[in-house]
Structure 1
Amino acid sequence: MAADGIPSALPAAITIEDLHPDVLTRTLRLLDGPALAAASCATSRLRALAAQPCLWEDLCLSAWPSLRDPRLRDLLPSFPASHRSFFSDAFPFPDPSEESRPCQDAPAVLISSIDLFHEGEHVFSRVLETDARDPWFLGSPFRIDALDRKDEGSTLAAPISPEDLTLSWVVIDPARGRAVNLSSRRPVSVERHWYTGEIQVRFAVVLGGGEAAANAVVACGEETMQPREVNLTVQDVDGMCLNGKESLVVLRGAMKGRRMGWGGEGEAEARRRYAEYAAAKQERKERRMRREGRLDMCCIVLGVSLFLGLFAFAALR
C-alpha cells in the first residue's frame, strides 16, 4: 500500500497460461471428445496439452470398452495420430452424401469393434476379424454376427427395454489405419418380427450417396426381453443385401469420406437421413409393386384374350 493510504496497482489477473500443466491436464481429462477438440483450438498451449495421447486413449476406452481387447490395444497406436485419429474417425457419423466408387485398395481384413449398452450400462463387447479376401465372403450376402443364440454370455440378469439400448459398431481397416462407425447409436426403429415374435431393434446409417445403408439389428426374445442376436448387414435402396465385394466398396468409401455431426445433433441427423432413405425405399417398393401389378394384369388380359380366341375358333369349326 502506498504511503498516502491509496492501494497500489493490483497484480495482473491470472490467466490460463499461468496454470500448472498438471492442473490443466486434470481439467482436460474431464472433457468429452468434442469439448476437448474445441479446447485445443483456444491457445497454442492448450493445443499442445490436448494432443497428449493419454487423454484420447482414456476417451476411447471409455466410449468403446471393446478397445481393451489386446488385439486393438496393440493396433491403435499404429493409427496416424493414435487414439486421437481413431476417435475422429469413429465418433462422428459418416457423411451419407459421399458416393461409393470402385477402388483398388479394398480392405483385406476387417475388424469389428462392437459395444452394446442399456441405459448407459455396458451389456457386452465383441471384437471380430473378417477375412475380406475369402471368395465365400466376396460372393455371399455381407453379414457379420456379433451375438447369436449359442452364446452363453447373452443372458442378462434382468429384462431390458429395447428403446433404451445404444449400440456402437466400429469397422476398422487395420492396414490403412482407418475406421468408421456403422451404427446410429440409438435405435432408428423398434419392431416386432411377424413370424418369431422377437423385438428387432435397428441401428442404421446411410452410406454410398444415399444408395445403401448399414443395418445393425439387435434381436430380443419376446418373453425374456434379452438380446439373442446382433448382426450387421449392408443393403441397397431396394432392400437387397449387398454381397461382400459390393459392401467393401461402400465401406471403403465411408472410411475415406468426410464425417459429420457430433453427439445428439449427429444422432438426430443420422436418424433423419435414415428416415429419408426408408421413405425412398418404400416408394421404390410401391412403384415396383404397381409396375408388377400392371404387368400381371396385362398377362391376365392377354391370357383371357387368347383363351377366348381359341374357344371361338374351336366353336366356329
Structure 2
Amino acid sequence: MIDSGRKRAVNLSSRWPVSVEQHWLTREVHVKYAAIVIASDHRQRWELFSAREFAECEVMVTMGGEEGGEMYVREVSMQMKDMEEKSLNGRESLVILQRTFEKGKRSGKIEEGKERYEEFLEKKRERKEGKERMENVLNIVCVSCFVVAVAFWSYKLFI
C-alpha cells in the first residue's frame, strides 16, 4: 500500500504464500498472502477494538490460465479480518492501515513473520475453543432449566 500524500509505503503481505489452492471447477489458482497487524494499541484503547488485539491483512491473488500455458493474474483483493474471521468494515480497516503506516517498520526476517502468523492462528484457535466451551455450558444450563420447568409444571398439574 502506498500513501502518496504522506509519502509512505507499507507491505501488507507475506513474502511467501500462506496457502495455495486450485478451485475444483474453474481451475483458477488462489494464492493467499497474509500479514498480521496490531489492531489495538494497549496504551490507548480504541472503542472499535476493545476485544480485538490482532487483525489479519489478507491479500488474495487469483490466477488463471490454460493447462500447459502461462499463468496470468486475474484478480487481486485485500481484506482485513479479525481473530474471529469476521471481515472488518471500511472504518475499522482504515484505522488499522493508518496505524500500520505510522509504525512503518517491518521485520525483514521470514521466520519472524511465520512465527507471528502461527501465533495468530494459535490465539484464534484458543479463542474459538473458549467460545465453544462457553456455548456448551450455556446449552447445559438452558436444558437444565427447561427440564426443571417441565418437572415443576407437571408436578403442579397432577397434584
Q: Provide the TM-score with structure 1 as the length reference.
A: 0.40
1:304 pairs, out of 140, 143, 147, with: 147
Deviation, structure 1 residue 190: 3.5
Q: Point out the structure with the larger helix share.
A: 1
1:203 pairs, out of 18, 33, 42, with: 33
Residues of 1 paired with 2:121 and 2:28: CA distance? 21
Q: Which residue of 2 aligns with 1:177?
A: 7
2:102 pairs, out of 241, 256, 264, with: 256
Q: Which residue of 2 aligns with 1:282?
A: 125
The number of residues matched between the two structures is 142
**Tell me, what secondary structure is at the counterpart of 1:239?**
coil
Deviation, structure 1 residue 197: 9.0
Measured against aligned partners, the alpha-carbon deviations of 1:48-104 in whole angstroms (never above 9, x if no partner) come to: xxxxxxxxxxxxxxxxxxxxxxxxxxxxxxxxxxxxxxxxxxxxxxxxxxxxxxxxx
1:188–1:274: 8 Å Cα contact kept in structure 2? no
Q: How does 1:55-94 map to 2 (within 5 A)?
A: none
Cα distance 1:211–1:261, how it changes in 2: closer, same or farther (>3 A)?
A: closer
1:198–1:219: 8 Å Cα contact kept in structure 2? yes
Q: Which amino acid aligns with 1:259?
A: K
Q: Which amino acid aligns with 1:288?
A: K
Residues of 1 paired with 2:8 and 2:35: CA distance? 18
**Tell me, what secondary structure is at the counterpart of 2:101?**
helix
Can you give the 5+ residue segments of structure 2 that lack an aligned partner in the other structure? 40-52
Deviation, structure 1 residue 199: 5.7
Can you give the 5+ residue segments of structure 1 that lack an aligned partner in the other structure? 1-170
Q: Which residue of 2 aligns with 1:109?
A: none
Deviation, structure 1 residue 234: 0.8
Cα distance 1:311–1:200, how it changes in 2: closer, same or farther (>3 A)?
A: farther
Cα distance 1:203–1:299, how it changes in 2: closer, same or farther (>3 A)?
A: same
1:230 pairs, out of 58, 76, 99, with: 76
Two-structure CA RMSD over aligned residues (Å): 3.0
Deviation, structure 1 residue 198: 6.9
- Percent identity, please: 37
Q: Provide the TM-score with structure 2 as the length reference.
A: 0.74
Residues of 2 paired with 1:199 and 1:308: CA distance? 58
Residues of 2 paired with 1:299 and 1:245: CA distance? 37
2:33–2:60: 8 Å Cα contact kept in structure 1? yes
Residues of 2 paired with 1:304 and 1:217: CA distance? 49
Q: Which residue of 1 aligns with 2:61?
A: 218
Deviation, structure 1 residue 192: 6.8
Residues of 1 paired with 2:35 and 2:96: CA distance? 12
Residues of 1 paired with 2:2 and 2:62: CA distance? 24
1:192–1:200: 8 Å Cα contact kept in structure 2? yes
Deviation, structure 1 residue 253: 1.0
